[in-house]
A = this chain, B = another copy of it.
Amino acid sequence: MNKPTIECCLSPALIDLYNVEESNVVIIDIFRATSTIAAALGNGANKIIPVDDVQECIKLGTEIENSVTAGERNGQIAEGLQYGNSPSTYKADFIEGKNLVLTTTNGTRLLYKVKHAQEIISGAFLNLGATAQYLAKQNKPLILACASWKDRFNLEDTLFAGALYDQLQDVYDTDCDSMRAAHHLYLLAKNDIFEFLRDGAHFNRLKNYGLTDDLKYCCKVDAHNNLIKFQNGELRIF
């Protein structure tokens, strides 16, 4: 039997080159949307409603019971929202049973770009293992879609794509140079991902906001090891 294909898309600006409709898609926004999603759901949030607009986020926050509005623009809490995009904010004693309405610069935008995919899975180092385990059993083309930074390639999302490929390479086939490059980079970085990323553009941007601990947290492998899917406008654990 032929193996399904795996490809990596390095920027939302390139997503139209891929056959999204017939594929499963993993959305990847390590710093920090998909890490925040993994932490909040892992710590007991009921569901997450990603929206691409701050006003919509505020509006939904008033309509949905037991909700928290959160999000950032350019790495900082967006005006009018209650919380930011910091995974360490969403501890169990705060988030358990709540509905999180979330908007971020890159992650939620990407999510709506791939909305016609067969399945949409949210991936981060925090839930790498569960994500890989699930995907290893799906016999469908797979696209690893990096949220990047305002359409620019970034190292952290690419490393995660490489990490996922590392666990899936026996069950998927690839003829995608982005996938090969991501894997090469992951193998270089895997002994200390945080250290490797210290020289990254977005790392330095967020570090300047005092977010170094947050970034360290985003590099923790399998700390909230759940499979997360986007279905009917909501992100949930499956």
Contact = CB atoms under 8 A, between A and B. Distances in A.
Interface stretch (A121-129, A131-139, A181-189): A181-189
Interface in A176-233: 176-178, 180-181, 184-185, 188, 199-202, 204
Residue among A149, A151, A152 with max Cβ neighbours from chain B (10 Å): A152
Interface stretch (A41-49, A67-75, A89-97, A153-161): A153-161
Given A13-B14, A185-B184, A188-B188, A177 B151 contact: no
A10 B188 contact: no
A175 interface: yes
A177 B204 contact: no
A1 interface: no
B175 A185 contact: no
A95 to B, nearest CB: 31
B17 A14 contact: no
11 contacts: A13-B17, A14-B151, A14-B153, A152-B176, A152-B178, A153-B177, A153-B181, A155-B181, A158-B177, A181-B181, A184-B184
